[in-house]
Amino acid sequence: MPLNKALMITPEMKQAQALGALRDYAANKRWLKETGGIEINGLTVATDDRSKTMISGARVAAQNDPNFTTQWKGADGSFVTIDAAAVIGISDAMLAYVSNCFATEAQVLAGVEAGAITTVEQIDAAFAA
């Protein structure tokens, strides 16, 4: 029976699969960190998509009314009254945090493509920094 070369797995195919797995791992690692929450001035703030939307809406209100206040529920379940300045500060910190998560992912993916990052442990270390 002749060998069907179309069914052979080549080294290039294995490398492409490994690179794809590293890319997927990096994206998931970024998402987990991005949505894992942060602490801002003693307030634990959720950073899931819903919380990011809520703080964006509160920011609009705070920018339109310097006397704005709201009850904010922290990621730990506690409520705290925050004013316009606090809302804007939380929004700024959240944006910086999320932007940093994506910047780290971009650096990791560049390292994967360049062959400098070849293990999930290296990806973990990049996101832990």
pLDDT tens per residue, range 67-123 = 999 999 988 888 999 999 999 999 999 999 999 999 999 999 999 999 999 999 999
* 72 phi-psi bin (left φ>0, alpha ψ -120 to 50, beta other): beta
- Contact of 125 with 25, CB cutoff 8 Å: no
Give the list of residues 6+ apart from residue 52 with CB closer than 8 angstroms, or none: 94, 98
Q: What is the mean pLDDT of residues 61-69?
A: 98
User: Can you tell me whether residue 109 is helix, strand or coil?
Assistant: helix
- Contact of 76 with 45, CB cutoff 8 Å: no
Domain boundaries, the chain: 37-128
Q: Quick one: pLDDT band at residue 7, thresholds 50, 70, 90? A: low
pTM: 0.85
The per-residue pLDDT for 1 is: 60
Please say if the pLDDT value at position 10 is more than 80.
no
- Contact of 47 with 35, CB cutoff 8 Å: yes
Give the list of residues 6+ apart from residue 99 with CB closer than 8 angstroms, or none: none
The string of pLDDT tens digits covering residues 82-97 is 999 999 999 999 999 9
Give the list of residues 6+ apart from residue 67 with CB closer than 8 angstroms, or none: 83, 84
